[in-house]
């Protein structure tokens, strides 16, 4: 609800940018910590993380600009990333392409790196959603049957039990009661993060943490899409393109689990 965190001698510091930076720092520290447990040299995971972040940001911003091209009213709008506007799937694709290239370059076990990423990604995204809440991006659909339209988070007696109203200047429509999809995603990602850590310490094969992440990230985003006000459903199908991708993620994770869990001795023996 506070897109500008503070003003330093005329320089506006955006909450979105601060939260995105914090998300990267926390993700980086976790990646280094769990890489050591997997026996991966720090400098390799540092480079994978750094260039993976760059690839993810470029992919996320490109996907957002394509999806919201009608909102880009000037030449500079696509480059104003500090004001908010990143697409999760675009980031996933951009980051994945970059990371796979570096995994091949360093000749690392792909699923060891994937398990590390499956821990760093959800906590980074959870922190990032605080920035989304402040900027008003990734907002939800309008909630009906409420009367308090003052700016802030409001409780209600029925589902979704609380809603959000953004001020003028936010990316979200101002003074409209909206489903709190940013906060929903924050909670979902915290659940995935905690589950990923628990599975890491008990995993039977490399890739088990990644499979967990892939399935639940797809499931939660599939549910969340019904309440998001950003992406319209595909005519005649009733689902968004993001939900189609989510279905693919869930199916892919199940198939991957059956493939990987058959050879636990080869992975850790």
What is the tens place of the pLDDT at every residue in 42-93? 999 999 988 988 898 888 888 877 776 666 666 566 666 655 567 777 887 8
pLDDT score of 57: 84
Q: Which residues contact 246 (CB under 8 A, 6 or more apart)?
A: 218, 219, 221, 222, 225
Core vs surface per residue 238-263: b (16+ CB within 10 A) or e: eebebbebbeebbeebeebbeebeee
Residues 177/149, Cβ–Cβ less than 8 Å = yes
Model pLDDT, residue 143: 93
pLDDT of residue 70: 67
**DSSP, res 95:** H
User: Has residue 265 got a pLDDT over 50?
Assistant: no
Q: Spell out the domain ranges in the chain.
A: 4-268
The candidate with the shortest Cα–Cα distance to 174, out of 146, 152, 193, is: 152
The pairing of beta strand 162-165 with beta strand 152-155? antiparallel
pLDDT band at 29 (very low <50, low <70, confident <90, very high): very high
pLDDT > 90 in the chain, percent:
55
What's the pLDDT tens digit per position in 198-208?
999 999 999 99
Cα first-last separation, the chain: 51
Per-residue pLDDT tens digits for 139-186: 999 999 888 999 999 998 888 889 999 998 888 999 999 999 999 999
Calculate the average pLDDT of the chain: 88
40 Rama class: left (phi>0) / alpha (psi -120 to 50) / beta? beta
Instruction: Provide the pLDDT confidence category of residue 41 given band limits of 50, 70 and 90.
Output: very high
Residue with tokens 């398990």: 115
113 and 96 Cβ atoms separated by less than 8 Å: no
Q: How far is CA 151 from CA 83, 186, 233, in A?
A: 19, 20, 28
Question: For residue 110, what pLDDT is reported?
Answer: 93
**Per the confidence metrics, is the pTM higher than 0.85?**
no
Q: For the residues 222-228, what does the mean pLDDT come to? A: 94
What pLDDT, on a 0 to 100 scale, did the predictor assign at position 249? 94
Residue 220 has φ and ψ, to the nearest 5°, of: -65, -40
């Amino acid at each position: 609800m506070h897109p500008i965190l503070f003003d330093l001698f005329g320089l506006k510091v955006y909450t979105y940018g601060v939260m995105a930076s914090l998300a990267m720092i926390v993700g980086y520290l976790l990646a280094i910590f769990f890489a050591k447990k997997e026996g991966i040299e720090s400098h390799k995971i540092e480079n994978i993380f750094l260039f993976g972040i760059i690839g993810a940001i470029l992919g996320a911003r490109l996907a957002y600009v394509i999806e919201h091209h009608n909102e880009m009213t000037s030449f500079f709008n696509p480059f104003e990333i500090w004001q908010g506007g990143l697409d999760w799937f675009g980031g996933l694709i951009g980051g994945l392409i970059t990371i796979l290239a570096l995994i091949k370059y360093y000749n690392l076990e792909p699923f060891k790196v994937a398990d590390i990423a499956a821990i760093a990604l959800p906590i980074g995204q959870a922190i990032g959603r605080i920035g989304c809440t402040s900027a008003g991006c990734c907002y939800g659909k309008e909630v009906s049957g409420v009367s308090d339209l003052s700016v802030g988070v409001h409780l209600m007696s029925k589902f979704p039990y609380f809603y959000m109203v953004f001020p003028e200047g936010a990316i979200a429509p101002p003074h409209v009661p909206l489903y709190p999809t940013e906060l929903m995603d924050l909670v979902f990602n915290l659940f995935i993060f905690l589950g990923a850590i628990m599975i890491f310490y008990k995993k039977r094969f490399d890739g088990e943490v990644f499979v967990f992440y892939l399935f639940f990230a797809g499931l939660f985003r599939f549910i969340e899409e019904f309440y998001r006000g950003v992406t319209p459903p595909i005519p005649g199908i009733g689902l968004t393109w993001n939900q189609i991708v989510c279905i693919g993620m869930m199916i892919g994770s199940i198939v991957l689990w059956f493939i990987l869990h058959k050879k636990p001795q080869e992975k850790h023996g």
